[in-house]
Structure 1
Amino acid sequence: MDTNNNQQGKFGKWAKTSITARMIIVGILVLVLMIPLSFIESLITERKFRQQEVVGEINQKWGEEVLLYGPILKVPYKVYHTKYVMNTESKKSEKITSSSTKYAYFFPEKLKINSTINPEEKERGIYKTAVYKSKIDINGSFSTPNFSEKDIKNEDILWDKIHLVVQTSNLKGAISLFEIKMNKNQYSLTSKNFKTKKKYRSNVINLNELESNNILETDVPKDKEVLFSMSVEMKGSKQIQFIPIGKDTDVNIKSDWKDANFIGEFLPYNSDKITEDGFNAKWKILDINRPFSQQYFSGIPDLTEFASGVNFLIPVDEYQKSERSAKYGFLVIGLTFLIFFLIQTMSKINMHPFQYLMVGIALTMFYTLLISISEHSSFFKAYIIAGTAVVLLITAYSKSILKTLKFPLFIGISLTALYTFIFVIIQLENYALLVGSIGLFLILAGVMYTSRKIDWENN
């Protein structure tokens, strides 16, 4: 019994006086604190998914993104098939010719799109998203369909059965009828009751196909160009885009929305697109600028990857910044414990592992405060409030441990500098790695300079 007590006494004395023992204990505590830190990262991810879920539900009820593809001229033509059948009576093969109807699709010669967007914010609880109402005016012309590629004779083209086709997403958001005016005649477009799924930048967009009845032969571009025009009003969210199918396409989108984000294969050409009152973006796209033809004989192609337009999503980066902050949790806890360890070693003040644990828990509380406050305020304000609260708490707690004033003040200043350093890294994008590397180098240099005074052999 005396031997066991003696061994326990030696171990306890070694744990209190040995630098190696303290280093091992502090290291174990850092690893233990990674457990609640991982739960906090999971909480941030969960809140981000919740925000996306609520925004998606609002957008789905109001109207999803708008993608307009058209108008397109759908021209039927006859193709002939020949086969030989054996006549059982004459014992000779007979030639039988039959015909079927196929369709060719021709894009406009000129296409001009003018869209005015009136956005507004929708809120549900603490989450909000941008939705809009749009007025879209489309004008242009169709030139005479060219069938020379298929060697189709003029008499095999069914000029009296030509249709107009428009593909668009979000018919739910339509607040006006789709009607196209050719010359002086108006043609209504009706849904064909099916959706074609187009994969666009990892998202699947449902495109509804709208088609007119037969257009009059007087409105068919058989011998000359025919002008067309249409005007639609739609509700939508997220973004609005157009596919530049005209041989000469001009697009103009304007709005009083001040956080415009231009997306797609082509960007606006005008340098004055962003103003204090919103934006007025202009695109001019020629057929030589894009890698697709003006006519197709095998169905309407999937050209969603060539769409361009404007994104109206409200920039919500609080969760992303909180995630990035939490990734530095190991660094914050490790460096804070290192500061306490150096102070303890150099001042000969004993600190119990439980006190280290309390400091570590306070550091992890910073991230829960950050995410909860940022949901109701800006990330900057949340960071200031959470950081100030944690720094003051740890400074006050260290004052009760270290008894003097200079060490708690040093800890408070160090934590303030550390949180400021991490905040700067989070805000940076292109220079985050450079600034982070330089900062860590300076921290390492400071630790090396301070630790040179420690007598490692006598501890």
Structure 2
Amino acid sequence: MNTPPQKKSFGQWIKTSLTIRMAMIGILILVMLIPLSFIESLIRERSFRQEEVVKEINSKWGNEVLLYGPVLKVPYQTHRNAKLWDEKTKSYTEENIVETAYAYFFPNELSITTNVESELLSRGIYKSVVYTSDIDFTGNFESPNFENQGIKPNDILWNKATILLRSSNLKGIKSNLDIVLKDQSYPLRSRYAKNSSLSTLETQFLKEDSLAVKGPIDFKLHFTVNGSESLRFIPVGKETKVRMQSDWATPSFDGNFLPETKTKQITSEGFKANWKVLEINRDFEQVFFGTLPDIESSAFGVTLLIPVDEYQKSERAAKYGYLVIALTFLVFFLIQSISKVTIHPFQYLMIGLALTMFYTLLISISEHSSFRIAYLIAGLSVITLISIYSKAVLKGLKFPLFVAASLTALYGFIFVIIQLENYALLVGSIGLFIILGTVMMISRKIDWSAN
């Protein structure tokens, strides 16, 4: 008498069927995407919090500094005829209407010398780089030329000419601003600037002997300003020269113009840099009639960078979380398939959760220490935990040691990629090729004909 074949239970199918085991592992990898997405959200949240704290620190000390000027402002009269209706005569009469317009003249030569002394301010675990800068402006104005605009000499209001200086950070100025023209000193005071992102400082009316009517006239200006993150200038001079030195060792030179290569020096003690910008290098002219334009896009200068951004590196590490989980599950799958050891889906889930704990440890420890130390502690903790757990799952020492070695190599490989910038893609591609080749060689021993 033949006995009917017994149906296999689900647990038996998992033990004997490669297809079902692979499907279960695929499902578990997809499930692990959920905690990984929460971890990436946590990193972004902590990063945004850091930005908020840094902005608050900077706003109290002084925000970034952008300087525009000095500019010679000369008013002049314009004339136009207008027809006006006269109720008494019931007719139109012509009347000459006189209006006031302004001409703006940029310096002929402009030299800026600045010494930037940096400082790190902290609030809790967050840091921001701020600075105090002593700035000297020297240069000269040429005689203003109104002839090209057809403006008559009698219409020029020389007695109402002033000097303008614009800045993005009046709050950070820590000394009086007095510009010296020839032998006369004129204080700069705040003025309301309509439709401008920069604040305006303006002198009182200039005396006649302070004007460059009969020839060039020299000027000089010295002041101290507190700022944060960046210091930039707009090259308003026909020839603009900037000399900058600082004790900050990690600058980023940005803007429309870079410093001269031969003069740029960056050491562990700080940096020195010189710029030279000519009128022909810019996309704006020396004289404006009517309104003073916004030319902030032509600014150049330096940004003081904090060299290590822990959240940025943690975010880059988290992006490789899918790869770490998939390769670790693949290692256990290969071990299970070769050794015939049974690994339950719950055990895969525990291993996956342990791998995601690496990133929470990395974020929390890096906030109080360096990224390198945090990565080392988090990596050793997770590798140790999974190795001990796999000893109970895989029975014996050979396979747990192989798991530990694989995880160590994988975390080491990812750490190298994170540190690299220019060669990250090249090294990553080579590493993945080697991993793929290794898996292909090992998987040759598996009997894929099983159900």
Q: What TM-score, normalized by structure 1, do the two folds share?
A: 0.93
- Paired residue type of 1:225: P
Deviations 1:120-169 (A, max 9, x none): 11011111111111111111101011113311111111111101111011
Alpha-carbon separation, structure 2, partners of 1:262 and 1:212: 32
The 1:299/1:90 distance shift into structure 2, 3 A limit, reads: closer
Q: Indicate the larger mover: 91-100 or 61-70.
A: 91-100
Runs of 5+ in structure 2 lacking a partner? none
Deviation, 1:434, is 2.0
In the alignment, which of 430, 447, 451 is matched to residue 438 of structure 1?
430
- Which SS does the other structure have where 1:345 is aligned? helix
User: Could you say which residue in structure 2 is the equivalent of 1:118?
Assistant: 117
User: Could you say which residue in structure 2 is the equivalent of 1:242?
Assistant: 233
Alpha-carbon separation, structure 2, partners of 1:85 and 1:59: 56
Alpha-carbon separation, structure 2, partners of 1:90 and 1:458: 112
Deviations 1:88-138 (A, max 9, x none): 888876432121110011100010111111111101111111111111111
Deviation, 1:85, is 4.7
Q: How many correspondences in the alignment?
A: 446
Alpha-carbon separation, structure 2, partners of 1:223 and 1:247: 19
8 Å contact 1:195–1:209 — kept in the other structure? no
Deviation, 1:177, is 1.2
1:44-123 pair list within 5 angstroms: 44-85=43-84, 94-123=93-122
Alpha-carbon separation, structure 2, partners of 1:15 and 1:260: 58
In the alignment, which of 358, 383, 404 is matched to residue 396 of structure 2?
404
Deviations 1:247-282 (A, max 9, x none): 011111111111122111111114342234311111
Runs of 5+ in structure 1 lacking a partner? 1-5, 199-206
Q: Percent identity?
A: 56
Deviations 1:353-397 (A, max 9, x none): 111111111100000011111111111111111111111111111
The 1:276/1:446 distance shift into structure 2, 3 A limit, reads: closer
- Paired residue type of 1:72: V
- Which SS does the other structure have where 1:149 is aligned? helix
Alpha-carbon separation, structure 1, partners of 2:311 and 2:164: 43
- Which SS does the other structure have where 2:400 is aligned? helix
- Which SS does the other structure have where 1:443 is aligned? helix
User: Could you say which residue in structure 1 is the equivalent of 2:150?
Assistant: 151
Say if 2:354 is the partner of 1:362. Answer: yes
User: Could you say which residue in structure 1 is the equivalent of 2:332?
Assistant: 340
Say if 2:420 is the partner of 1:428. Answer: yes
User: Could you say which residue in structure 2 is the equivalent of 1:455?
Assistant: 447
Deviation, 1:196, is 4.9
- Paired residue type of 2:448: W
8 Å contact 2:131–2:226 — kept in the other structure? yes
- Paired residue type of 1:435: V
Say if 2:247 is the partner of 1:256. Answer: yes
Deviations 1:8-31 (A, max 9, x none): 743332222111111111111111
8 Å contact 1:132–1:235 — kept in the other structure? yes
1:132-151 pair list within 5 angstroms: 132-151=131-150
User: Could you say which residue in structure 1 is the equivalent of 2:381?
Assistant: 389
The 1:150/1:447 distance shift into structure 2, 3 A limit, reads: same
User: Could you say which residue in structure 1 is the equivalent of 2:160?
Assistant: 161
Deviations 1:291-330 (A, max 9, x none): 1100111211111111111112323421111111111111
The 1:7/1:28 distance shift into structure 2, 3 A limit, reads: farther
User: Could you say which residue in structure 1 is the equivalent of 2:276?
Assistant: 284
The 1:187/1:12 distance shift into structure 2, 3 A limit, reads: same
Deviations 1:188-247 (A, max 9, x none): 11111457544xxxxxxxx11011111001111111001111111111111111111000
- Which SS does the other structure have where 2:52 is aligned? helix
Alpha-carbon separation, structure 1, partners of 2:380 and 2:317: 15
Deviation, 1:84, is 3.7
The 1:86/1:366 distance shift into structure 2, 3 A limit, reads: closer
Root-mean-square deviation (Å): 1.8
User: Could you say which residue in structure 2 is the equivalent of 1:202?
Assistant: none
8 Å contact 1:195–1:208 — kept in the other structure? no
